[in-house]
Each structure stands twice: as C-alpha cells, then as structure tokens.
Chains A and B, each alone.
Chain A
Amino acid sequence: MGFELKNWYSDKKQGEVVLEYNGSITPDLITEALQSIEQNLNLKNEKNRVRKKVYNVFVECLQNLYHHVDYPPETAPVERSSNYGIIILSKDGTFYRISTGNFVKKEKLNYIKDRIDQVNSLSDEEVRMLYRDILNNDEFSDKGGGGLGMLDIVRKTGNKLEYYFYQFDDEYIFFSLDVYIS
C-alpha cells in the first residue's frame, strides 16, 4: 500500500476544522491564515492563555514550513509550487490539533527524526534550560530560529511532537507532524 494523501487528510480533519490550507507557504499567506483563525468563534471564546498559545504555535508551525519546505515531487497529487506545504488546525474534543504535512527528500529524514526525538526526550525543565542555552548562543541562522522552533512548540504545548514519515516514492518522504494544545 502506497501513501494516500486523501487518507492522511481525512485523519487530520477529525473534529471541527478551523483552518486548512495546502499550497505555497508565503509571508502573505501566513498573515492571512492568522487573521482567519482570529475570527474563529471557538478560539475567540477560549481563555487568553489557550487562545494565544494556539496563535503562537500556529505561526511557529507555518514559519517552520516557510523556512524549510521545498517543491513537491512531480508525481505528487498536489499543485506544483515552491514552498509547498499543508496545514490543518482543528478542534478535536478538548484540544486543538495543528497538523502539518510536506514532502521531503529521503536524505533529510534522519536529520528531522533525530531533531524531534531529541526534543521529545527532554523533561520540561530540560526543555527550558536548552531553550535558554540556544537563545543565548550566537549560532543563529539567517532564518533566525536556530533550532528554537521545535523546542518552543514543545515548551508552549507541554506535549510531545507526534510525527510520521510515509514513503512516497524512491526519492521522497511525506513528513507529517501533529501538535496538540489543550
């Protein structure tokens, strides 16, 4: 069984979909997407704490995609655009789920996996300490994040990152990431 994008979609859309987007991730799209979720009544009625966490983590996820994603493979059933990514925000029961999906070249798999496994292995206190260490070192990339993105998401949500790699073809993997906020 090969990877079916539509199955992935229906899985991630469980609950009430606040926003879904697939296509080119650009700065304007990020602004529009944020403005759109700010109009969502569920979120408007949330406590400040939850609402701001969702906005903040949502932006971080989108900017992660913006800084890192590539063209999708030619055979993928999606539009051919640079910076191609998918984001879905849904309210599922008592929590909000942000799912992102994007195609990556196979050789990047280990790097991404190690990164996430490392962040997931840390206790809350270790996450805080590592965040401060990286914040205060000078090794920041031009993109600005310098590895803080994933740490920040784990720290704000207090939950581990859930990820899946689906083999798409010989060259590409579909990388799926779920973040839960409650």
Chain B
Amino acid sequence: MYTLVNRIATSMETIIREGSPKTPFVRLDGESGVVEIKGRSIPENSVEFYKPIIDWLEKFGDAPSDETNVNIQLEYFNTSSSKCILDIFKRLELIHKKGNPVEINWYYEEDDEDMFEAGEDYQSIINIPFKMIEMEE
C-alpha cells in the first residue's frame, strides 16, 4: 500500500505557467507540496483557465504531501475569477480535513484594502486558517 501511495505521489507532474497580461503565474509542485498563484487574474473565461489547476488539485488530493503550502499573491482579480479561486480553496479544504495540514498565505500590498477584504471573504467561507501577509510597497 505504501509503495502504491508513494508512486502516485511522485507521479504528480509539476505545473508551471508563466503569467500573461490577464492571467497569473501559477506553480503547482506536488513533490514539495507548494501551490503558488501570483499576479493578476482577469481572463474573460476564468473557468477555462482554472480547470487544469482544479483538476491537478483533485489528483493531488488523492495523495497529498505531508504539508501543503499555498501562496496567493494577487495584484487584483475579476469577479469571474473569484468563484474559481474559491473552488481552489474548497479543494484545499478537503485535503486539510483529511488530516494533511494546509497552510494558506494570503499576500496583500500595504494599503490594498480590497485585496485584504477579498482574503477575509474566502476566510469566512473556508475552514482553514489564513495567514494574512502585508507586503510593503
């Protein structure tokens, strides 16, 4: 059983997507358990952009690493992305509930109340403690 789980765990591919004018940089690293989303997220079709990420998390959830570190550092995002970002957190919540700790770091710029509040919105829905990290300009 151990070998099987191990095999699944190591077979998780790492996904790296460079940022574009409308989509964020994304790094999904199954081996070290790191999920990173940085930049802006304003695509017209967010579902299409986020689907591979949700799929990856679903697979990762079958054999997660001992600990998962999530870094969300968004400049801003459109309402079409907001639901997809919630879907990501819901996937992570499932992993956390199963006993594999997930740490979420939510970054926001010093005077950016909108991004801070967006973090609060997700925190009010998701049962994982968020670490709110203020960045200096």
B36-85 residues with Cβ-Cβ distance < 8 A to A are 42, 44-47, 75-76, 78-84
Quick one: which of B80, B113, B117 contacts A143, CB cutoff 8 A? B80
Contacts of B124 in A (CB 8 A): 132
Number of A interface residues at 8 Å Cβ cutoff, please give it: 32
A63 part of interface (Cβ distance < 8 Å) = yes
Contacts of B46 in A (CB 8 A): 144
Q: Are B111 and A149 in contact (CB under 8 A)?
A: no
Q: How far is the CB of A67 from chain B (nearest CB, A)?
A: 8
A55 part of interface (Cβ distance < 8 Å) = yes
Q: Are B121 and A60 in contact (CB under 8 A)?
A: no
Whether A135 touches B83, Cβ cut-off 8 Å, given contacts A27-B44, A52-B75, is yes
> What is the predominant secondary structure among interface residues of chain B facing chain A?
helix
B114 part of interface (Cβ distance < 8 Å) = yes
With the chains together, A47 CA to B121 CA distance in Å?
A: 24
A148 part of interface (Cβ distance < 8 Å) = yes
In the complex, 27 of the A-B residue pairs with CB atoms within 8 angstroms, ordered by the A residue number, are: A27-B22, A30-B44, A34-B21, A35-B21, A47-B111, A48-B109, A49-B114, A52-B75, A52-B109, A59-B42, A60-B79, A63-B42, A63-B80, A66-B44, A67-B44, A128-B121, A136-B86, A144-B47, A144-B80, A144-B81, A144-B83, A144-B84, A145-B79, A145-B80, A146-B83, A149-B79, A156-B114
